Chain A
């Protein structure tokens, strides 16, 4: 039952012979092999000397959603990353789309943002209509892998 730490998607073993101090909450000074590192740890990112890194902690005691679920289930759900208004729908149910193709345009913070399909597939559902206000996390469209 040990935790495993993944940095930028790969498992990583931390050095055992480093000196570490927490200087401020979430800010660490690490000395290793004579080299000095400054590390910021936040909820979604770690920065080491200006290099941003993504992280993931696999704790077998906790059930976590896998980021690769879309690929496994053959389905991708496009959700609104923040509250906004649907200004345009660029495709329709039944249409074949490719990864990176725009599906819905949402206006938020005075900017129009195109939400793209993460996979190649078929649009099975457009869950919103133009001019509709949407909350963060609202489902906008569902794409299924074709075939």
Chain B
């Protein structure tokens, strides 16, 4: 094993660009891949080389293993970074890379297989000594059997797709009489999304936080944790804001070490190397339970990078090349506070409806402590075909309060014109007392949204006249152009004369 020389990034958008940047810093070459919809995408513009995969649907492009391997061979790439999503947790893809003699920058296909199925992950984690939520260890496809088990565990329970992710095939059940219908809908959704309708049942921990631990291992048996991320601000089980450290840690001395230890144990039981994340449910009293493991780099990895000072992608590439971790657990400490907002093309004021389209104007925040991992530019048309995430806005500051103030400042600098975005959602949350106090749980945002908050709060009284002034100027300039367009009445009159 040696450090790869040329790395193909089997992904798109901001994460492809994020990997390309580190590849360049390391003096290596990058190969982007793209679909028809992404020919003009930013990651293609910024890569050293680029390979066309096929039509826009993911199955023809970013999920197509033979096409990606063919592109890697054609460009002589000796390693593949899968990013997150798409093929990043696909054991068959990792195995295909291994068979083709291409370094897969991630864990082994065996570890992905072990931890990719939620039920198998629970068994592995339990055997490794991590605490788990009471529930089934096998997937179930029969509603009657599910009913018996749920009655045994006690309501409320959560139903989750064994092969699931991203909130698909997930249902909360509060009463026994609802179980069968919710089980059937979860199972059919899981079957559609993952070609596997089996469901497992877990006791629902009320008001739980989602706290996850970043772990990192090399091929020499060294395995450490890099602290935690609090990802409790979620909408429909999708993370919206992440931060490190978790506000819970200040309230329970020693909790970080206990959770970190449990995460390392779970990862060790799976023979894990490279970057991974062990997700836990944690209660305010400091109890925690293993939830699942993500066998890849996470969307929210930048908050860990900012508080640890590490470049996780560089570490991934070095470890995949056979290097030993350059530090021990005792060398790791968290400094300051980091927060990330996931900026989406969706309209919070209209049921979060996706809003693809052309970005007509763009002003990006910068300045002290601001990091923007973006995949867009002015003039870019956000395609319909993929997840509508535009960028991740991440800030670092010495304390959590300062990080919140910095994020508010950065959000005020951020302007995205032409499409609707969820920037207003973050302005709302960052002003909200429970968020500011760090009193979070996974139902926090859904509860807040049920109150139908105002996403466009009334501005100070002196602001609208200023807006009107700019608007009038803009329309004055557009007017000559409008006058050049022939009037419909004039055209009709001329047509009449021609008769």
A interface with B by C-beta (< 8 Å)? 3, 5, 7-8, 10, 12-15, 18, 20, 22, 25-28, 30, 32, 35, 37, 39-43, 45-55, 57, 81-83, 108-111, 113-116
A53 x B464 contact (CB < 8 A): yes
A32 to B474, alpha carbons, bound, how many Å? 18
Taking the nearest CB of chain B, how far is it from the CB of A88, in angstroms? 10
The residues of A that contact B467 with a CB separation of less than 8 Å are: 7, 12, 39, 46, 48, 53, 55
Say yes or no for B197: interface residue by CB 8 A criterion.
no
B417 x A48 contact (CB < 8 A): no
B interface with A by C-beta (< 8 Å)? 350-356, 360-361, 363, 384-388, 411-415, 417-418, 423-424, 427, 456, 458-460, 462-475, 477
Taking the nearest CB of chain B, how far is it from the CB of A11, in angstroms? 9
B471 x A46 contact (CB < 8 A): yes
B470 x A82 contact (CB < 8 A): no
Q: A13-B465, A46-B470 are in contact. Are A40 and B415 (CB under 8 A)?
A: yes
The residues of A that contact B469 with a CB separation of less than 8 Å are: 14-15, 18, 20, 30
A25 to B353, alpha carbons, bound, how many Å? 28
B351 x A53 contact (CB < 8 A): no
B470 x A43 contact (CB < 8 A): no
Taking the nearest CB of chain B, how far is it from the CB of A1, in angstroms? 14
B418 x A55 contact (CB < 8 A): no
The residues of A that contact B473 with a CB separation of less than 8 Å are: 20, 22, 28
Question: Which one, B417, B456, B464, B477, contacts A12 given CB within 8 A?
Answer: B464
Taking the nearest CB of chain A, how far is it from the CB of B468, in angstroms? 4
The residues of B that contact A111 with a CB separation of less than 8 Å are: 352, 354, 388
Q: A26-B474, A81-B353 are in contact. Are A51 and B465 (CB under 8 A)?
A: no
A14 x B468 contact (CB < 8 A): yes
5 A-B pairs within 8 Å (CB atoms) are namely A15-B469, A27-B363, A50-B414, A109-B387, A116-B351
Closest 3 CB pairs of A and B: A50-B412, A42-B417, A14-B469
B471 x A57 contact (CB < 8 A): yes
Instruction: Apart from A42-B417, A50-B427, list 11 A-B contacts with CB within 8 A.
Output: A7-B464, A13-B465, A15-B465, A22-B473, A26-B474, A42-B361, A43-B360, A48-B466, A81-B353, A109-B354, A115-B351
Question: Which one, A45, A51, A57, contacts B463 given CB within 8 A?
Answer: A51
Residue of B355, B386, B427, B462 with highest tally of chain A CB at under 10 A:
B462
Question: Which one, A12, A26, A109, contacts B468 given CB within 8 A?
Answer: A12
Question: Which one, B385, B423, B466, contacts A37 given CB within 8 A?
Answer: B466
Question: Which one, A8, A35, A109, contacts B386 given CB within 8 A?
Answer: A109
B470 x A5 contact (CB < 8 A): no
The residues of B that contact A113 with a CB separation of less than 8 Å are: 351-354
The residues of B that contact A41 with a CB separation of less than 8 Å are: 470-471, 474
A116 to B412, alpha carbons, bound, how many Å? 30
Taking the nearest CB of chain A, how far is it from the CB of B473, in angstroms? 6
The majority secondary structure among interface residues of chain A is: strand
A126 to B468, alpha carbons, bound, how many Å? 41
The residues of A that contact B356 with a CB separation of less than 8 Å are: 82, 109
The residues of A that contact B414 with a CB separation of less than 8 Å are: 50
A10 x B464 contact (CB < 8 A): yes
A3 to B475, alpha carbons, bound, how many Å? 11
The residues of B that contact A10 with a CB separation of less than 8 Å are: 464
Among residues of B, the one whose C-beta sits closest to the C-beta of A42 is B417
A83 x B475 contact (CB < 8 A): no
The residues of B that contact A49 with a CB separation of less than 8 Å are: 412, 463
The residues of B that contact A30 with a CB separation of less than 8 Å are: 466, 469-470
The residues of A that contact B463 with a CB separation of less than 8 Å are: 37, 48-49, 51, 53
Taking the nearest CB of chain A, how far is it from the CB of B80, in angstroms? 24
The residues of B that contact A109 with a CB separation of less than 8 Å are: 354, 356, 384-388
A22 to B360, alpha carbons, bound, how many Å? 16
Taking the nearest CB of chain B, how far is it from the CB of A100, in angstroms? 8
The residues of B that contact A42 with a CB separation of less than 8 Å are: 360-361, 417-418
Q: A8-B456, A40-B417 are in contact. Are A32 and B468 (CB under 8 A)?
A: no
A17 to B382, alpha carbons, bound, how many Å? 40
Among residues of B, the one whose C-beta sits closest to the C-beta of A4 is B468
The residues of A that contact B423 with a CB separation of less than 8 Å are: 52
A39 to B381, alpha carbons, bound, how many Å? 23
A136 to B355, alpha carbons, bound, how many Å? 11
A27 x B354 contact (CB < 8 A): no
A28 to B354, alpha carbons, bound, how many Å? 29
A42 to B421, alpha carbons, bound, how many Å? 14
A69 to B337, alpha carbons, bound, how many Å? 49
Among residues of B, the one whose C-beta sits closest to the C-beta of A24 is B361
The residues of A that contact B384 with a CB separation of less than 8 Å are: 82-83, 108-109
Taking the nearest CB of chain A, how far is it from the CB of B56, in angstroms? 12
Question: Which one, B354, B413, B458, B472, contacts A5 given CB within 8 A?
Answer: B472
Q: A81-B350, A110-B387, A113-B353 are in contact. Are A47 and B415 (CB under 8 A)?
A: yes
The residues of A that contact B477 with a CB separation of less than 8 Å are: 22
Residue of B355, B413, B415, B460 with highest tally of chain A CB at under 10 A:
B415
B458 x A8 contact (CB < 8 A): yes
Taking the nearest CB of chain B, how far is it from the CB of A134, in angstroms? 13
Taking the nearest CB of chain B, how far is it from the CB of A15, in angstroms? 5
B466 x A40 contact (CB < 8 A): no
B465 x A57 contact (CB < 8 A): no
Question: Which one, A51, A55, A81, A108, contacts B471 given CB within 8 A?
Answer: A55
